[in-house]
Amino acid sequence: MVVTDRKGNIITDLKRDDFHVTESGEPQTVLNFDPAGAHTTTPGLNINSTTELDALAPNAPVDIILLDEFNTRFEDMAFARYSLKKFLERQPGKLTTPTMLIAVDLQHFTVLHDYTQNKDEIISALNHHFAAYPWQVHQHAWLAERYATAFITLRRVAQAVIGHPGHKSMIWIGRGFPNLNMANYPLDTAQRVDNAVQNCVNVLRDARITLYTIDPAGLKFDQQAYGSDAELTDPFGGNYQFAKLATATGGHALYGRNDVDAEIGTAIRDGASFYTLTYRPTNDSTDPQKFRRIKVTVDRPGLTVTTREGYYLSRAANPNDSNPVKPADLMVHDLISASNSTMPYDGANIYVRRSPAAPDDFIIHINAKDLVWTYATDTEPRHTEVVLVASTFDKKGKPLKRDAKVIRAKATTDVPPTGRLERGLDLHYVLGHDPKAARIRFVIRVTNSGRIGTADIDLTKPLPPLNSELAPSATPLH
């Protein structure tokens, strides 16, 4: 949450006792509290990848800048890129906050640059990116596909970064949602959109993401700029507004201004000045449709607290949602998205080494803390379950082959039948020889938690031998 005064200035000197929290009108007890900027990266660190971020600054705040190229007119996106470059050029050579740059159109999800504090590298990645022409926007077409892409993108980013405990500011530069007039659609369509909104609020909350939306269209004097039915295609005027989704996560919707570079600066400033507190809700209702509204106030007069508006309880699990033998469509989509992407997923930490015995034999190690082990029963030993997807690509990034399997591994007999068990898992994967393969991407999904981890191996370069000191592993069941 961010605290500002009447002039919009950030307030960073508040203490735990200054804050009061209610959920659905009921007072809550604050259990933990972090002051503003408590986990900013130290000056001596220089972060240049997700791996370095998680290892060296696991609690540091980060910025994720996303260019929406599927719901934004081409000329508006050109202005957005100009404004982003203008903002970056005013910053010091080393950015205070590690920053990732992503571009999304209807066909591509592209990580232009992984987390870095080097502003010149981000500017270079921006300059070398060729944006697709969004003809669907200019013709007011493919509304459903563009709407779905927005939801999928939010979920995709959240799943990828959930393993980093620090706060994330997602700065979405673009129009967000096209409007769908629900009066023209069946009632079950509105319900599906409601469910998607609830899911987005929850996954963004779980990943500690605050969404800031910046509309690069600026001040519009001619409402015909987006067609004769501008009102029906304005994402800030429909039933389901991207602006409201941003507010629900504790962020802001910034639009109607021409100084987009200043709006970017505001979002980044807020992300570096977050207070964090936790509480255990006293509300024992299990209604998944009920929105639990959160209100945070402070004793000092004249201050405004901006935080996420609340949350929905997760729906009761559908057996098909977590059964990897007959996976739900959403889980399949998540795995394929992770497999086709170049974005690092750190929901589960995995390490890959080539076996010293055979160059095409890979050993994938899953960290003990990321696995969930069942309790033993009279007929079943303790076990854990993961889904492994291995995909190969040629030197141009074209997919060649995808292989997926469910792996159920039992613990050794020396472990207690119940209680917490921390034991890593080593998986062996043999890659069939393919002279065209230049890269292999391993995706691991832990069944009981749904968390995903990835590892990319450049097949054109030699790998170091397997580390013989990896944590004890379990035995896969075949």
Question: If the chain, 478 residues long, is cut into consecutive pieces of 10 residues, what is the mean pLDDT of each piece?
Answer: 91 94 93 88 92 93 95 90 94 95 95 97 96 83 85 94 95 82 72 78 91 77 46 43 81 76 88 89 80 91 90 57 55 93 95 82 94 92 96 95 94 90 93 91 95 94 54 39
Task: Count up the domains in the chain and report the number.
Answer: 2
On the 0-12 / 13-18 / 19+ scale of CB atoms within 10 A, 342 is middle
HSE at residue 223, side-chain half, CA atoms within 13 A, is 8
The reply to whether 198 falls in a domain is yes
Based on the fold, state whether residues 101 and 199 are members of the same structural domain: yes
The β-bridge relationship of strands 310-312 and 304-306 is unpaired
The answer to the question of residue 307 being in a domain is no
Instruction: Tell whether 240 and 97 lie within a shared domain.
Output: yes
- Tell me what pLDDT residue 176 has: 80
* pLDDT the model gives residue 319: 40
368 and 251 within one domain: no
User: Within a domain: residue 236?
Assistant: yes
The boundaries of the domain holding residue 424 are: 320-477
Q: Within this chain, do residues 184 and 85 fall inside the same structural domain, yes or no?
A: yes
Instruction: Say if 296 falls within a structural domain.
Output: no
Of the candidates 227, 224, 213, the one whose C-alpha atom is nearest the C-alpha of residue 256 is 213
434 belongs to a structural domain: yes
- Count of positions (residues) in the chain: 478
Query: Does 360 lie in the same domain as 252?
Result: no
Query: Residues 442, 352: contact at Cβ < 8 Å?
Result: yes
334 shares a domain with 266 = no
* Closest to 408 in 3D by CA, of 390, 369, 381: 381
- In this structure, the dihedral spanned by the alpha carbons of residues 260, 265, 270 and 271, taken in order and rounded to 10 degrees, is 100
Say if residue 349 is in the same domain as residue 243.
no
What's the token pair of residue 218? 């600026």
Which of 443, 463, 462 has its CA nearest to residue 453?
A: 443
Q: What is the pLDDT of residue 135?
A: 86
Q: Are residues 151 and 267 in the same domain?
A: yes
DSSP-derived 3-state class of residue 240: coil
Same-domain pairing of 131 and 245 = yes
d(CA 209, CA 63): 10
- Of 274, 308, 329, which one is at a domain's C-terminal end? 274
CATH number of the domain where residue 248 is located: 3.40.50.410
What CATH number does residue 357 fall under? 2.60.40.2150
Q: Structure tokens of 460?
A: 């054109």
Secondary structure string (H, E, C) spanning 102-121 = EEECCCCEEEEEEEEEEHHH
What distances in angstroms separate CA 60 from CA 164, 238, 307, 387, 425, one per listed residue? 9, 36, 19, 30, 28
228 and 345 belong to one structural domain:
no
Q: Are residues 46 and 183 in the same domain?
A: yes
d(CA 89, CA 81): 12
Flag whether 291 is in a domain.
Answer: no
CB atoms within 10 A of CB 242: 26
What is the distance, to the nearest Å, from the Cα of residue 444 to the centroid of all Cα atoms in its chain? 16
- Domain stop point among 274, 304, 329: 274
**3-state SS track over 293-356:** EEEEEECCCCCEEECCCEEECCCCCCHHHHCCCCCCHHHHHHHHHHHHCCCCCECCCEEEEECC
- Classify residue 10: in a domain, yes or no: no
> Where a domain ends, among 220, 251, 274?
274
Nearest Cα neighbor of 410 from 363, 347, 453, 473 is 473
The string over 355-381, giving b where at least 16 C-beta atoms fall within 10 Å of a residue's C-beta and e elsewhere, is: beeeeeebbbbbbbebbebbebeeeeb
- The helix/strand/coil state of 131 is coil
> Is 388 within the bounds of a domain?
yes
If asked whether residues 267 and 325 sit together in one domain, one would say no
Count CB-CB contacts under 10 A for residue 50: 23
